[in-house]
Structure 1
Amino acid sequence: MKFIYLDNLPINNKILLILKNAQYETCTDILLDSENKIKAKTKLETEDIQSLLVLISKTIYTENPKSALEIRNENQIEKLSLGDKILNKVLGGGLPTKSGIIEIVGESAVGKSQLALQLCLMVQLPKHLGGLKGDALYLTTETFYSNRLETLKYYFMLKYGKYFEYDPCQHIFVETLIDLEMQQHYLYYYLPNILEKLPNIRLIIIDSIAFNFRGENNILSFQERAKILTEIAVRLKEISDKKNLIVICINQVSDYINDNNNKLSNEKVPTLGLTWSNCINMRIELSRNSINYTDNDEFVHKTQPEIERILKVIHSSYMPYSKCKFIIRDDGIKGII
């Protein structure tokens, strides 16, 4: 919507003065009020108000709607490979840019942060190898697993080292958000500046989005928390769309509690409640299957028994429910059949 002052429109001087006395300065001010509200503020005749609204509408809405083809060409979505054919297939070829907020949720030590670190390496690959030829920004509210990243990088470079003349860790930028106040300030104000200074960032990880909202760290009313979560989501979605990048928020789970504070079952639910669930665009759930898996791949040194786990696309605005099994090896997360 164009920002136009009423002074720039061919409006009768008497009516213009009345509008200004009623605190109307721009066309937007008029359009945001109903016809009845304008009449109550200005005491203008209905006919004059309707003529004014027609004039403003013709002045502001001068462009024709875009065709579906134009929109498709403007929104060329790219996809980031997870580094594994089975995982990519479940996710429709990879994680898309301009996809709003992608949440990865699951219990502790199920592989959420490992998948995030794996993506921080994959995003740096050339596009023909499934990467986005970009950098990663890792915003941590807990612990950054630098030792695990080094292990992943070792195997990553064995496979893709010829495409790099630098250490991939140089292009993974890490910030620690120690409390909710810092988290809000960073996401609201500092993050847009960072993206201007580092325009090659194509992946943003927040690990985890829930930690600074925990009861022991902050005491917020339901309304306060909902307001903050909604504001954070709006900003992250705008960034994903305008900067053509991927935003991933890692979330935790908690017991399913009823209104009487009783645990109903062994079922786990994502933290942050319904407000946050309505903000995200895709939810990927990781869980354990508690079955040992025998892997005969000799490429990777085995440091611990491999346990089957499950990756599920629980809900998404652009793809159906799907799932696959996976294991965690020294070289990363791998899908299994």
Structure 2
Amino acid sequence: MYSEQLSALPYLTHSQKAVLKKGNLQTIPELLFASPQDLARRCRISPLEAKAIFNTVCENNPPQIISLAEEDDQEQICSTGDAHLDAALGGGLRTGMLWEIFGQSAAGKTQMALQLSLFAQVPASLGGLSGSACYITISSKLPTSRLLQIVDAHPLLSREICGLDDINTMKTPTIPVLIHVLSKILPDLVAQRVDDPELKPVKLVIIDALAELFHSSDKTTTTTLIERSQNIAEISTLLHVLASKYNLAVLVLNEVSDVFNHGESGTSSSGGLVYNQQAKWFGAADTVPGESNKEASLGLVWANQVNARIMMSRTGRRRYLEDSLQNKRQKADDGHSSGNGGATTNADDGAILVRRLSVVFSSVAPPSSVDYIVTAAGISVLPDDDVLAPAENAFSSPERHDDAISAISMAGSQVAPLDVGFAEQEAQSERTHLQDEDEEWENYWNADVISEEMYTRLEEPGE
């Protein structure tokens, strides 16, 4: 019923159908997901006319209660190709949802998107969606050579089950072009693939990267902010319609902006909470030093549109993996035999750059963080790092600080190599503090300023 075309509804007049067609609204879900205000703006009609059309469609399409067994479009989950990463995301990338990945440049956002566009093609029995992907770019060009490299390098992928044939791409350099693609071109493509049994249905839509559309040199005014909010709301509505109607996953890549701390006060002059105090709960993560200095772009309007927000960040840390250590030892042996002392630079000693992925919020998974690296096979979570919730982070609260120091002292081998420097620093600081305190007490007792009589003399009544 909900997939019925608006032009075929008998209870709408010809004039109402004409204005809906002018507003590029074709199906009932597209109409119901739009507010009467958006409907009036898109169809160029008065709010009263828009509300009348909206109410008419709602009255003739009441919600129906059905059991889960009768539900046609069951939720599907697409694996990322890494079991630890899947666990952090609540099993993988779920359909019917709007996912956001934001982070700094070179954090690995595009690498993740490319990897998912390949795993969406993998058969469901192997953790994929048995579908195809549509990759929308704003200003960049899709790196096809990198896609083929991931296919050849990843142990779970092969050219027999995934490739470039089932990745459709298009460029949308402006906001009107993107809205036209999401409202007309993409729904037609998705519907075409659904009707053709020889083609894989579209199961993943990627936008890389949405914030680029809103880069403008124009002066920021109330009018421009309102216009931006309206554009974001319209784009998100079209994405939710696609995800809901065709049971596909939508992944939007986003940029970051700097966080400026204007003070410790958590309330405004009127007594309400200020934005920068609230934003830390939904706009950024804070699991490693420096991670909280960046937050997702596009503000509160966009934050309210996404079902899951994931942050990817550079940490500046490095780690030696087994292969890297073996190569380093080999270089050291070769250097010793050649008489150069085995000197190596940080760039060629085999240390791999470590990055951090944090689930800021999600409707299907709790907040968590993992360390990962980018290899020829794509994103890979470091094998000795479990999915660790921020609340369980050893150094996240003063109450757990003492336990953390004890754990480091008793089981230093369990600390991840990339965190060893930080952990040793904390432990050394704690040991120095304890030593100073012990020395102070020792000096006090050695001074012998308390006579023995003070220990043996009983206090008499009345004294």
Query: What SS does the aligned partner of 1:292 have?
Result: strand
Provide, for residues 117-148 of structure 1, a one-character-per-residue CA deviation record: whole Å limited to 9, x for no partner: 00111111111111011111100012222232
Distance 1:216-1:185 versus aligned 2 partners, 3 A rule: farther
Distance 1:117-1:217 versus aligned 2 partners, 3 A rule: farther
Query: Which of 366, 379, 399 matches 1:333?
Result: 379
Partners of 1:224 and 1:185 in 2: how far apart? 17
Deviation of 1:214 (Å):
0.7
Query: Which of 98, 122, 125 matches 2:96?
Result: 98
What residue ranges of structure 1 are gaps of 5+ in the alignment?
8-25, 34-56
Provide, for residues 284-315 of structure 1, a one-character-per-residue CA deviation record: whole Å limited to 9, x for no partner: 110122211222259xx999742111111101
Structure 2 contact 255–297 (Cα < 8 Å) conserved: yes
Structure 2 contact 144–164 (Cα < 8 Å) conserved: no
Deviation of 1:61 (Å):
7.5
Query: What SS does the aligned partner of 2:164 have?
Result: helix
Structure 1 contact 208–249 (Cα < 8 Å) conserved: yes
For residue 175 of structure 2, what is the aligned residue in structure 1? 180
Equivalence map 1:24-173=2 (5 Å): 29=52, 32=55, 60=60, 65-67=64-66, 69=68, 73-99=71-97, 101-143=98-140, 144-156=142-154, 159-161=156-158, 163-164=160-161, 168-173=163-168
After TM superposition, which residue ranges in structure 1, 4 or more long, deviate above 3 angstroms? Answer: 1-7, 28-33, 59-63, 67-71, 216-220, 263-266, 301-305
Partners of 2:62 and 2:75 in 1: how far apart? 28
More strand by share: 1
Structure 2 contact 90–364 (Cα < 8 Å) conserved: no
For residue 259 of structure 2, what is the aligned residue in structure 1? 256
- 1:221 corresponds to 2:207: no
State TM-score, norm by structure 2.
Answer: 0.55
Query: Which of 244, 247, 266 matches 2:247?
Result: 244
State TM-score, norm by structure 1.
Answer: 0.74
Structure 2 contact 190–202 (Cα < 8 Å) conserved: yes
Partners of 1:175 and 1:198 in 2: how far apart? 17
Query: Which of 227, 232, 237 matches 2:235?
Result: 232
Distance 1:314-1:162 versus aligned 2 partners, 3 A rule: same
For residue 408 of structure 2, what is the aligned residue in structure 1? none
Partners of 1:239 and 1:31 in 2: how far apart? 20
Query: Which of 290, 306, 315 matches 1:289?
Result: 315
Partners of 1:142 and 1:31 in 2: how far apart? 36
Which amino acid in the other structure matches residue 213 of structure 2? N
Equivalence map 1:182-221=2 (5 Å): 182-199=177-194, 200-216=201-217, 221=224
Distance 1:30-1:135 versus aligned 2 partners, 3 A rule: closer
Provide, for residues 226-247 of structure 1, a one-character-per-residue CA deviation record: whole Å limited to 9, x for no partner: 0111011111011101111110
Percent identity over paired residues: 31
More helix by share: 2
Structure 1 contact 107–252 (Cα < 8 Å) conserved: yes
Distance 1:62-1:151 versus aligned 2 partners, 3 A rule: closer
Structure 1 contact 125–163 (Cα < 8 Å) conserved: no
Which amino acid in the other structure matches residue 248 of structure 2? L
For residue 36 of structure 1, what is the aligned residue in structure 2? none
Q: More relative contact order in 1 or in 2 (CA 8 Å, sep 6+)?
A: 1
Partners of 1:115 and 1:331 in 2: how far apart? 11
Partners of 2:376 and 2:170 in 1: how far apart? 25
User: Which of 174-183 and 289-298 deviates more?
Assistant: 289-298
Deviation of 1:320 (Å):
1.5
Partners of 1:125 and 1:217 in 2: how far apart? 44
Partners of 1:323 and 1:226 in 2: how far apart? 30
Deviation of 1:324 (Å):
1.0
Which amino acid in the other structure matches residue 315 of structure 1? F
Structure 1 contact 306–329 (Cα < 8 Å) conserved: no
Distance 1:246-1:32 versus aligned 2 partners, 3 A rule: closer
Distance 1:62-1:177 versus aligned 2 partners, 3 A rule: closer
Structure with bigger gyration radius: 2
Query: What SS does the aligned partner of 1:168 have?
Result: coil
Distance 1:6-1:109 versus aligned 2 partners, 3 A rule: closer
Deviation of 1:218 (Å):
9.9
User: Which of 304-313 and 280-289 deviates more?
Assistant: 304-313
Which amino acid in the other structure matches residue 202 of structure 1? K
The alignment covers a number of residue pairs equal to 285
Query: What SS does the aligned partner of 1:170 have?
Result: coil
Structure 1 contact 92–319 (Cα < 8 Å) conserved: yes
Structure 1 contact 212–218 (Cα < 8 Å) conserved: no
Query: What SS does the aligned partner of 1:238 have?
Result: helix
What residue ranges of structure 2 are gaps of 5+ in the alignment?
3-8, 14-48, 195-200, 263-275, 278-289, 328-346, 386-463
